[in-house]
Amino acid sequence: MNKKKNKKAQSAIEATVAFGIIFFIFIVVYLIYTEKNQDLLSAHKIIDEREDCLKITNGISSIFTLGTGAEITIRISQEAEIFPNEQRIETGRSSCTFPTRLVSGEISNEPFTVSSGQLKIRNENNLVIINNV
């Protein structure tokens, strides 16, 4: 009778240990998953910022190449800061460059910010003008 009780007790302990090991493995896998998911979300945000930056740069290049009177509208999802004299655009943590200094906001050639949404990019006498629609 004593042997049966020992076997049942041993079985219960083994089942508890097995459950603990499985639970521990599950927790480790979950922590790895959440860390990788955060990395993926961060990378996705950086890619979106870079995409907006490149949309603006491509628009500037296209409009400048098409010449006076050309006009396009693009949509961006991030606020962008444009530095015409430095030929640089910053969107969040991303930045890119464009090929001409002949870029302006509505008023001057000073650095300016455009909001997310639609942008109108037009060429007036070989000066590329960018503003929100």
DSSP string, the chain: -HHHHHHHHHHHHHHHHHHHHHHHHHHHHHHHHHHHHHHHHHHHHHHHHHHHHHHHHHHHHHHHHH-TT-EEEEEESS-EEEEGGGTEEEETTEEEE-S-S-EE-SS-SS-EEE-SEEEEEEEETTEEEEEE-
Element (H, E) at 77: none
Tell me the mean pLDDT in the region 85-108: 81
Mean pLDDT of 120-131: 90
Q: Which one is predicted more confidently, 93 or 117? A: 117
pLDDT surpasses 80 at 94: yes
Is 1 a residue whose pLDDT tops 60?
A: no
What Rg, from alpha-carbon coordinates, does the chain have?
29
Give the model confidence (pLDDT) of 40-77 as tens digits.
999 998 898 899 999 999 999 999 889 899 999 999 99
Q: Are 128 and 121 in contact (CB under 8 A)?
A: yes
